[in-house]
């Protein structure tokens, strides 16, 4: 069945981002309609319009974009729709245009790219691959207090900083997480909350100047189908209703107080 074309995207004016679908429609130079970026059946795919919004504000046409956790290739497809040169890496590449690499050790020169976008695993909630290096195997609420997960993410963020040119932008899309305590009585709400967003923000702050924090509202219809909303109320836990989108800037030519000292340099222009 044919459907009507979705309206063109517009750059959003506020820090609360919401869009009714995961993907957007666009037409290429030959007039062909493209209705999907990445793979709609891939668990954990980034909403493509989120990446579109970022590229419209923080890149220009010739800017080189990199996604070290490329998954189903959403960033690559969004870059194609906007004419940005792009490289996507993943430990478990699903398409030939995604290169196999660990986000902690990218095959890229220092300061060689203009924008880094990452949507990493948020603890262990999705089984991405059997690769032992998969960060999705590390529990942010595990017995080690999440040390292994945050150590891995510290390396991936530092690598993003290494490959990024000075005065260019870095964005990280992430959600907090919660897991029920094993054997907890129904309705007790006993479990472990993992404030992954704030923890990763603190790690990024050591390398970057914060530009802004966006709340991206999640409209997951699968939750309704699987009765999850009802269960969350009955069992006294929260479903994740939003993702953070942290936007940072590499500013290595200004002496920074780096958070802990409470001073932030004024935001320099490009
Ligand atoms: C949330 S998904 C990314 C989704 C992607 N942005 C998309 O729209 O399809 C996280 C990805 O990180 C990958 N991954 C996990 N550990 C990794 C590592 N150490 N280096 C590179 N990729 C890794 C997983 O294989 C998975 O594809």
Per residue in 196-245, pLDDT tens? 999 999 999 999 999 999 999 987 767 777 788 888 888 888 999 999 99
Place of tokens 């999640």: 218
Q: Is residue 197 part of a domain?
A: yes
Q: Model confidence at 258, in pLDDT bands (50, 70, 90)?
A: low
CA 17 to chain CA mean position, Å: 14
CATH code: domain of residue 200? 3.40.50.150
Residue 6: inside a domain: no
On whether residue 136 sits in a domain, the answer given is: yes
- Output the DSSP codes for 172-189: EEE--EEEEPTTPPTTS-
Helix 147-163 and helix 196-205, axial crossing angle in degrees, nearest 10: 40
Find the 70 Cα to ligand 1 centroid distance in Å: 6
pTM exceeds 0.95 for this model: no
* Gap between the Cα atoms of 53 and 212, Å rounded: 13
Q: How confident is the model at residue 188 (pLDDT cuts 50, 70, 90)?
A: confident
The whole domain housing 42 covers 16-249
Residue 172 lies inside a defined structural domain of this protein: yes
DSSP 8-class letter at 89: E
Is 254 inside a domain boundary? no
Token pair, residue 121, equals: 């695993």
Helix or strand run (H / E) with residue 66: strand 65-67
Q: Is residue 269 part of a domain?
A: no
Pseudo-torsion of CA 198, 199, 203, 209, nearest 10°? Answer: 0
What is the distance between the alpha carbons of residues 256 and 32, in angstroms, rounded to a whole number?
48
- Would 270 be classed as within a structural domain? no
The pLDDT tens digits for 36-94 are: 999 988 999 999 999 999 999 999 999 999 999 999 999 999 999 999 999 999 999 99
**Cβ neighbours, 10 Å, residue 124:** 19
Atom index in ligand 1 nearest the CA of residue 133 equals 19
- Tally of domains within the chain: 1
Q: From the CA of 156, how far away is ligand 1's center (Å)?
A: 11
Distance 105 CA to ligand 1 centre (A): 14
What integer best gives the mean pLDDT of the chain?
Answer: 91
Q: Please check whether residue 241 lies inside any domain of the structure.
A: yes
**Ligand 1 pocket list (CB less than 6 A):** 38, 42, 44-46, 68-72, 74, 90-92, 102-104, 119-121, 128-129, 133-136
Q: Would you call 235 helix, strand, or coil by DSSP?
A: coil
* Cα(139) to centroid(ligand 1), Å: 15
Two structure tokens written together for 158: 């530092």
């Amino acid at each position: 069945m044919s459907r009507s074309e979705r309206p063109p995207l517009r750059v959003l004016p506020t820090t609360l981002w919401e869009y009714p679908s995961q993907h957007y429609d666009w037409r290429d130079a030959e007039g062909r309609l493209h209705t999907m970026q990445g793979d709609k059946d891939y668990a954990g795919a980034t909403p493509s319009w989120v990446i579109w919004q970022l590229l419209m504000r923080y890149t220009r046409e010739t800017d080189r974009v990199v996604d070290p956790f490329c998954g189903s290739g959403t960033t690559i497809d969004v870059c194609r729709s906007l004419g940005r040169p792009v490289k996507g890496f993943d430990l478990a590449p699903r398409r030939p245009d995604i290169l196999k690499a660990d986000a902690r050790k990218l095959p890229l020169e220092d300061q060689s790219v203009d924008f880094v976008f990452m949507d990493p695993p948020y603890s262990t909630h999705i089984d991405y691959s059997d690769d032992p290096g998969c960060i999705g195997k590390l529990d942010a609420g595990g017995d080690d207090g999440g040390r292994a997960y945050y150590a891995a993410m510290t390396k991936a963020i530092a690598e993003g900083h290494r490959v990024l040119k000075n005065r260019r932008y870095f964005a990280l899309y992430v959600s907090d997480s919660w897991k029920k305590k094993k054997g907890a009585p129904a309705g007790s709400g006993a479990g472990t909350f993992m404030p992954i967003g704030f923890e990763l923000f603190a790690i990024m702050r050591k390398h970057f100047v914060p530009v802004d924090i966006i709340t991206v509202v999640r409209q997951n219809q699968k939750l309704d189908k699987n009765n999850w909303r009802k269960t969350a109320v009955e069992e006294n836990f929260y479903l994740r209703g939003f993702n953070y989108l942290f936007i940072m800037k590499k500013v290595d030519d200004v002496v920074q107080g780096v958070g802990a000292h409470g001073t932030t340099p004024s935001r320099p222009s490009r």
